[in-house]
């Protein structure tokens, strides 16, 4: 097995030095696009092609259902290399989602990104990569591709010196094992048996039905919410295996997007301490939401005075947020969280009933909080239990996610990378992909290198992942906390926002307090640097003081842990 760091850049080792080395980027959603942009900038001597099987370049999130609102803000989700949005809060903190990507806005952003950097000429749409295979003798990759424009196009085989896989985590919806339910589309009703709806594009056609949605992720909650709209007249249940973490898009503190309150000072506290405090803080924030609002009022007045019905609904909403949070127990910060303010509205309005997991068949469910079972007899069951990538199918199971250091660089093949397979517990996917793309491309160009003891580092990282995220399917996703993870990548890339790179202690301090974004790594760019020096600080001074007071406790805790680890190793 070869060691990454001791090898010359991949391009310089092409079998025929006269030929330009070739890079294949597989998939052209946000990950593929940002990888392509970086590759074209940094690898001028390479032939680069990006294959996309659909006829669009906006990936799975580019064209969502009408009324869609993203979970992360425009400001924090935009690529650091293409900033169009600033951190001014334009929403009213109650009902306005202008700070988030709504409907097809994210797709438009990606289109404008591709145009701004003239990426279209390197993208082959409607070309599916069927198989990726490693050729041991030449250390190259063989790709079998098929043009989908006509049904008669033959399969092509091409050789590439490097491959970056950007096919996304949401290639295929996971299905539930059959248990007394029939797969069918909703147009052939059978009142005796629950029917499993696999094609979720049909969600918006369902009316006058009893529906159970299974799952607690963003998709499940979104499906339940759409099904429960009053005009659809459905009876909707959401079946949860455990509690879920429900975060509002707009926080009760000053009504600013929750993203804007997370800063590097907060993230500098050890995760164990931070999560312990965070769990208590979340519960207090829900329980005493009125007090929070009084102490930290929104900058703009909410549109209307709340009526009695609204107050009652708010109370119910908080009750459910607390029950779901409590049921998540200690895992609150080690699980993906929902930005589901609208879903909680539907629960409070009795349009969605929360139930426990299915007991034996899809007609019997546990009550959410007790061990009792209840019969429901749904007409339709919608499984929304997550997605699967197509990594195994694409590589005939030759390539496993678990072999990629930091979910990005293959521990053995120095010319194979994944971009977009890290799933943030908190944060957003596109800007994490941008950091991974930067790393992959810089490794290919030889501008940076991986640690000399890569295998050992990878094993240690795997153990840490298992300890922290043991309950998640680590074979399918690489869960991360966005900024701490990006910090690790940035140290490899060489763009960690140190005091030196920030230019002054004052600028560095600003970076610690402003909303955390991956733009903090782009400090070589003068415009970004001056923009960051004016970045707004949304965290109230009281919290800044409390966090600063916590720092000595944090240092002591870290020292004790370090000493205990050393003793255990000895
Ligand atoms: C409705 C919706 C809303 C979302 N909202 C958010 C949000 O607010 N914040 C957030 O961070 N994340 C959000 N996500 C998650 C989203 O998956 C990621 O943010 C991001 O879009 C993933 O980009 P990607 O390029 O990695 O994958 P994708 O967008 O899935 O792109 C992968 C591309 O690869 C192509 N492809 C796959 N297989 C092949 C093949 N064999 N050959 C050729 N091409 C292939 C696909 O056609 C696709 O275009 C949302 C997802 C959805 C569906």
Q: What is the DSSP code string of 279-300?
A: HHHHHHHHHTHHHHHHHS--SS
Per-residue DSSP letter, 386: -
Cα of 30 to ligand 1 centre, how many Å?
7
For residue 93, is it left (φ>0), alpha (ψ between -120 and 50) or beta? Answer: left
Taking the C-alpha atoms of residue 484 and residue 490, their distance in angstroms, rounded to an integer, is 10
In sequence order, the 6+-apart residues with CB closer than 8 A to the CB of 560 are none
Cα of 405 to ligand 1 centre, how many Å?
21
Per-residue DSSP letter, 364: E
Q: What is the DSSP string of 208-230?
A: S-EEEEE--SHHHHHHHHHHT-G
Cα of 35 to ligand 1 centre, how many Å?
14
Cα of 38 to ligand 1 centre, how many Å?
18
In sequence order, the 6+-apart residues with CB closer than 8 A to the CB of 243 are 323, 324, 325, 326, 327, 328, 329, 332
- 26, 27, 77, 127, best to mutate for ligand 1 pocket (most atoms within 8 Å of CB): 27
Atom of ligand 1 nearest to the CA of 32: 25
- 155, 168, 215, 226, best to mutate for ligand 1 pocket (most atoms within 8 Å of CB): 168
Identify the residue whose tokens are 């996917």: 429
Atom of ligand 1 nearest to the CA of 129: 42
Identify the residue whose tokens are 């239990």: 385
Beta strands at 172-173 and 387-388: parallel, antiparallel or unpaired? antiparallel
Cα of 420 to ligand 1 centre, how many Å?
8
Average pLDDT over residues 378-387: 88
Identify the residue whose tokens are 């969600």: 203
Tell me, what's the pLDDT at 191? 42
Mean pLDDT of the chain: 87
- Of all protein residues, whose CA lies closest to atom 29 belonging to ligand 1? 59
Cβ–Cβ under 8 Å, residues 234 and 207: yes
Cβ–Cβ under 8 Å, residues 501 and 495: yes
Atom of ligand 1 nearest to the CA of 100: 8
Over the stretch 484-499, which tens digit does the pLDDT of each residue have?
999 999 999 999 999 9
Over the stretch 432-441, which tens digit does the pLDDT of each residue have?
999 999 999 9
Cα of 29 to ligand 1 centre, how many Å?
5
- Of all protein residues, whose CA lies closest to atom 4 belonging to ligand 1? 61
- Of all protein residues, whose CA lies closest to atom 22 belonging to ligand 1? 168
First to last CA, the chain: 29
SS3 325: helix
Taking the C-alpha atoms of residue 43 and residue 441, their distance in angstroms, rounded to an integer, is 8
In sequence order, the 6+-apart residues with CB closer than 8 A to the CB of 13 are 7, 139, 161
Query: Looking only at Cα atoms, what is the longest distance across the chain?
Result: 77
Cα of 336 to ligand 1 centre, how many Å?
17
Tell which wins on pLDDT, 340 or 453: 453
Average pLDDT over residues 366-375: 85
Nearest to 315 by CA among 325, 302, 303, 306: 306
Over the stretch 38-81, which tens digit does the pLDDT of each residue have?
999 999 999 999 999 999 999 998 888 888 889 899 999 999 99
Beta strands in 268-421 (DSSP E): 337-338, 352-355, 364-366, 373-375, 380-383, 387-388, 404-405, 409-410, 416-418
The count of C-alpha atoms lying within 13 angstroms of the C-alpha of 250, restricted to the half-sphere facing its C-beta, is 24
- 58, 59, 127, best to mutate for ligand 1 pocket (most atoms within 8 Å of CB): 59
Atom of ligand 1 nearest to the CA of 65: 1
Tokens of 36: 């392509």
Model confidence at 448, in pLDDT bands (50, 70, 90)?
Answer: very high
Taking the C-alpha atoms of residue 217 and residue 337, their distance in angstroms, rounded to an integer, is 7
Model confidence at 150, in pLDDT bands (50, 70, 90)?
Answer: confident
Taking the C-alpha atoms of residue 301 and residue 183, their distance in angstroms, rounded to an integer, is 49
Over the stretch 162-188, which tens digit does the pLDDT of each residue have?
999 999 987 777 776 655 444 444 333
What is the percent of the chain with per-residue pLDDT over 90, rounded to a whole number?
53
Q: Considering Cα of 500, then 503, then 506, then 508, what sign does the dihedral take? A: negative
Average pLDDT over residues 388-416: 93
Cα of 209 to ligand 1 centre, how many Å?
31
Q: Which of 211-215, 329-333, 398-402 has the lowest mean pLDDT?
A: 329-333
Tell me, what's the pLDDT at 184? 41
Model confidence at 445, in pLDDT bands (50, 70, 90)?
Answer: very high
Cα of 31 to ligand 1 centre, how many Å?
8
Q: Is the pLDDT of residue 7 over 50?
A: no
Taking the C-alpha atoms of residue 300 and residue 428, their distance in angstroms, rounded to an integer, is 27
- Of all protein residues, whose CA lies closest to atom 53 belonging to ligand 1? 61
pTM: 0.89
SS3 183: strand
Over the stretch 299-329, which tens digit does the pLDDT of each residue have?
665 555 556 666 788 888 888 888 888 887 6
SS3 175: coil
Cβ–Cβ under 8 Å, residues 356 and 365: yes
Atom of ligand 1 nearest to the CA of 168: 27
- 67, 75, 78, 167, best to mutate for ligand 1 pocket (most atoms within 8 Å of CB): 167
Cβ–Cβ under 8 Å, residues 445 and 43: yes
Cβ–Cβ under 8 Å, residues 158 and 49: no
Average pLDDT over residues 395-418: 95
Atom of ligand 1 nearest to the CA of 27: 34
- Of all protein residues, whose CA lies closest to atom 32 belonging to ligand 1? 167
Q: Residue 392 — φ and ψ, nearest 5°?
A: -65, -45
Q: Is the pLDDT of residue 95 over 80?
A: no
Per-residue DSSP letter, 354: E
Tokens of 506: 């004052």
Nearest to 216 by CA among 195, 237, 186, 194: 237
Beta bridge partners of 365: 358, 374
Pocket of ligand 1 (CB under 6 A): 26-32, 51-54, 59-61, 64, 68, 70-72, 77, 128-129, 166-168, 170-171, 390, 394, 420, 428-430, 433
Cα of 61 to ligand 1 centre, how many Å?
6
Helix (H) or strand (E) run with residue 132 in it: strand 127-135
Cα of 326 to ligand 1 centre, how many Å?
31
The count of C-alpha atoms lying within 13 angstroms of the C-alpha of 525, restricted to the half-sphere facing its C-beta, is 12
């Amino acid at each position: 097995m070869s060691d990454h760091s001791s090898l010359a850049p991949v391009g310089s080792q092409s079998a025929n030095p006269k030929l330009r080395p070739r890079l294949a980027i597989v998939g052209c959603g946000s990950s593929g696009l940002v990888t392509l942009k970086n590759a074209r900038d940094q690898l001028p001597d390479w032939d680069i092609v990006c294959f996309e099987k659909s006829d669009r370049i906006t990936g799975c999130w580019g064209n969502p259902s009408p009324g869609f609102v993203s979970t992360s803000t425009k400001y924090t989700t935009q690529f650091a290399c293409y900033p169009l949005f600033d951190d001014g809060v334009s929403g009213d903190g109650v009902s306005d989602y202008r700070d988030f990507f709504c409907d097809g806005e994210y797709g438009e952003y990606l289109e404008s990104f591709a145009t701004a950097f003239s990426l279209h000429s390197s993208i082959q749409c409607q070309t599916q990569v069927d198989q990726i295979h490693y050729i041991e003798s030449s250390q190259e990759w063989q790709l079998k591709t098929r043009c989908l424009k006509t049904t008669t196009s033959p399969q092509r085989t091409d050789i590439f010196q490097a491959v970056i896989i950007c096919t996304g985590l949401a290639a295929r919806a996971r299905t539930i094992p059959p248990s007394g339910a029939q797969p069918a589309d909703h147009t052939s009703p059978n009142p005796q048996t629950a029917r499993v709806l696999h094609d979720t594009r049909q969600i918006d056609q369902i009316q006058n039905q009893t529906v159970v949605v299974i799952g607690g992720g963003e998709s499940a909650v979104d499906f339940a919410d759409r099904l429960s709209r009053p005009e659809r007249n459905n009876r909707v249940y959401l079946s949860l295996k455990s509690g879920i973490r429900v975060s509002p898009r707009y926080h009760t503190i000053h009504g600013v997007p929750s993203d804007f309150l997370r800063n590097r000072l907060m993230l500098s506290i050890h995760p164990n301490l931070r999560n312990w405090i965070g769990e208590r803080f979340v519960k207090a924030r829900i329980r005493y939401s009125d007090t929070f609002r009084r102490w930290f009022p929104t900058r703009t007045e909410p549109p209307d005075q709340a009526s009695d019905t609204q107050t009652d609904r708010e109370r119910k909403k908080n009750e459910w947020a607390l029950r779901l949070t409590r049921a998540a127990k200690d895992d609150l910060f080690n699980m993906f969280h929902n930005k589901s303010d609208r879903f909680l509205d539907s629960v409070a309005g009795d349009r969605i009933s929360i139930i426990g997991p299915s007991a034996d068949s899809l007609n019997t469910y546990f009550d959410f909080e007790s061990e009792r079972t209840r019969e429901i007899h749904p007409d339709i069951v919608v499984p929304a239990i997550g997605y699967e990538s197509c990594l195994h199918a694409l590589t005939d199971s030759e390539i496993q996610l678990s072999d990629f250091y930091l979910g990005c660089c293959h521990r053995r093949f120095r010319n194979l990378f994944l971009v977009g397979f890290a799933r943030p517990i908190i944060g957003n996917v596109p800007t994490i992909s941008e950091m991974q793309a930067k790393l992959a491309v810089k490794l290919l160009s030889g501008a940076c290198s991986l640690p000399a003891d890569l295998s050992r580092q990878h094993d240690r990282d795997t153990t840490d992942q298992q300890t922290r995220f043991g309950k998640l399917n680590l074979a399918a996703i690489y869960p991360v906390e966005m900024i701490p993870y990006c910090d690790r990548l940035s140290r490899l890339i060489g763009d960690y926002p140190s005091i030196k790179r920030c230019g002054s202690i004052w600028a560095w301090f600003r970076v610690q307090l402003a909303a955390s974004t991956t733009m903090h790594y782009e400090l070589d760019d003068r415009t970004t640097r001056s923009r960051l020096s004016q970045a707004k600080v949304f965290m109230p001074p009281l919290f800044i003081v409390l966090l600063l007071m916590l720092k000595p406790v944090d240092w002591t805790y870290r020292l004790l842990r370090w000493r205990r680890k050393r003793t255990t190793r000895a």
